[in-house]
Structure 1
Amino acid sequence: LTGKVTINEELEEMLEIENPVIFTQVIITDTQQAMQALADIEARYFDIMKLEKRIRELYDMFADMALLVDQQEEIIDRIENHVKNAVNYINKGKVLIPMASKYRRKKILIGICLCVCVFVIVVSVISSIIQQ
């Protein structure tokens, strides 16, 4: 009844002594052990509940992170495309800047030649007018 295994001979001896304290003492001891076991089980249960709550919070955090990544995936893709375009523009710039510098020098030379030609024409027109 109390969870303690007793041999028949021990049981007979207890009955012959006619001392009820022996039975109550065993019941009290067993009750205290059961109460301690219950307290241990309750403590484990509450620890498991705390652990479950923390795991649920961690799961929620990962779910939120996945949602944010999904929502911002388009933005991240756009940023990636802009970076690629910037690299392409820089590479084109490396090629076009020396060409532009070369064209600028040619333009200056053409301008100088044009000015010289205009000057020569003006001088020749003036000299032909003066000779007449």
Structure 2
Amino acid sequence: MKSISCDVCVVGGGYTGLSSALHLAEAGFDVVVLEASRIGFGASGRNGGQLVNSYSRDIDVIEKSYGMDTARMLGSMMFEGGEIIRERIKRYQIDCDYRPGGLFVAMNDKQLATLEEQKENWERYGQ
């Protein structure tokens, strides 16, 4: 068995592990990534490839449970995550099919009212 020394050992080669390893390496740490199968094997390699700024709950639901400060912080982090990815694509000249844009579509008045409410919420949270 080979012995390896490093400053930080990251277990898991999915999005979170690789992002953490890259962030640490950029800060000057000697990093080793351990992956049981292959890089991106699990859920990270089985996604639709969209860069979506959202959580499983609307931001106003987060505020009701945790307060305005937490909702603002989480909302800010959500958009920051997308910016980190866009910056890395540019910095490392990653050859990918990234195309910014997207649509929020309403098929009826109820859906339109929901979209308008979500837009107002995000504006209230500074996004």
TM-score interval (norm. to shorter): under 0.3
TM-score, normalised relative to structure 2: 0.25
More strand by share: 2
TM-score, normalised relative to structure 1: 0.24
More helix by share: 1
